[in-house]
């Protein structure tokens, strides 16, 4: 049995446990914003939970450069964890390419490859196949996945422009869910407002 297949089986076995852990960490809490509003973001501890700053990390990306969350400071972030052998990751991959094309000017998409259970070669092939034009950091030792308590994949975490986690989704996203979450990041006070790309297009007409 190949190393990747063994890891795939192990991750599948952890799926149910992962759902429980992820639900506890990323369940929507009505007063999450209130927790932030009463104190500065810098005073809060980093935690992979809604209402707390996203844990920082620094990884080498597929292009050979260093990537950290500080790179996207001041912009909302869609943080995705994936592997090339993951079927649901393939299902949602085109959506991230589409998202980058439409909102890349206002939004950072970061696709962390779980290289500890994958390979850089397969990650590179995957990114090329699906047209990833955004950072693809390589989590070679699994430290970042552990920091974010990643169990089943894909897992997607939404981070606002202050670096605060606003939500998370287990499993493959469909376009409506992904797009809706992104609009809330871009337009937090008016989630149903005209998307920035459309608004600017209308202004030019």
44-58 per-position pLDDT tens digit: 889 999 999 999 999
pLDDT exceeds cutoff 50 at 153:
yes
Cα–Cα distance, 162 to 113 (Å, whole number):
24
Confidence of residue 4 (pLDDT cuts 50, 70, 90): low
Three-state secondary structure call for residue 184: helix
pLDDT digits (tens, 9 = 90+) for 72-131: 888 999 999 999 999 999 999 999 999 999 999 999 999 999 999 999 999 999 999 999
- Reference 174, options 84, 76, 93, 77; nearest CA is 93
Higher pLDDT, 19 or 139: 139
Higher pLDDT, 194 or 89: 89
State both tokens at 40. Answer: 């500065």
What is the structure's pLDDT at 44? 85
Cα–Cα distance, 157 to 167 (Å, whole number):
6
Which residues, 6 or more positions from 74, have their beta carbon under 8 angstroms from its beta carbon? 161
pLDDT exceeds cutoff 60 at 191:
no
pTM (two decimals): 0.76
> Mean pLDDT across the stretch 13-37?
40
């Amino acid at each position: 049995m190949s190393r990747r297949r063994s890891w795939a089986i192990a991750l599948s076995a952890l799926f149910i446990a992962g759902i429980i852990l992820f639900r506890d960490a990323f369940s929507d809490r009505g007063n999450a914003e209130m927790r932030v509003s009463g104190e500065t973001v810098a005073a809060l501890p980093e935690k992979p939970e809604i209402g707390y700053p996203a844990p920082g990390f620094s990884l080498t990306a597929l292009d050979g450069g260093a990537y950290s969350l500080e790179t996207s400071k001041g912009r909302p972030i869609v943080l995705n964890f994936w592997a090339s052998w993951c079927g649901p990751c393939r299902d949602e991959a085109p959506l991230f390419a589409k998202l980058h094309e439409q909102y890349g000017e206002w939004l950072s998409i970061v696709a962390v490859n779980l290289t500890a259970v994958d390979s850089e070669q397969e990650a590179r092939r995957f990114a090329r196949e699906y047209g990833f034009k955004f950072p693809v950091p390589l989590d070679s030792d699994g430290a970042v996945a552990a920091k974010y308590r990643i169990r089943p994949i894909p897992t997607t975490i939404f981070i606002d422009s202050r670096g605060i986690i606003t939500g998370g989704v287990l499993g493959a996203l469909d376009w409506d869910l992904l797009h809706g979450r992104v609009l809330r990041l871009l337009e937090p006070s008016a989630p149903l407002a005209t998307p920035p790309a459309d608004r600017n297009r209308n202004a030019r007409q």
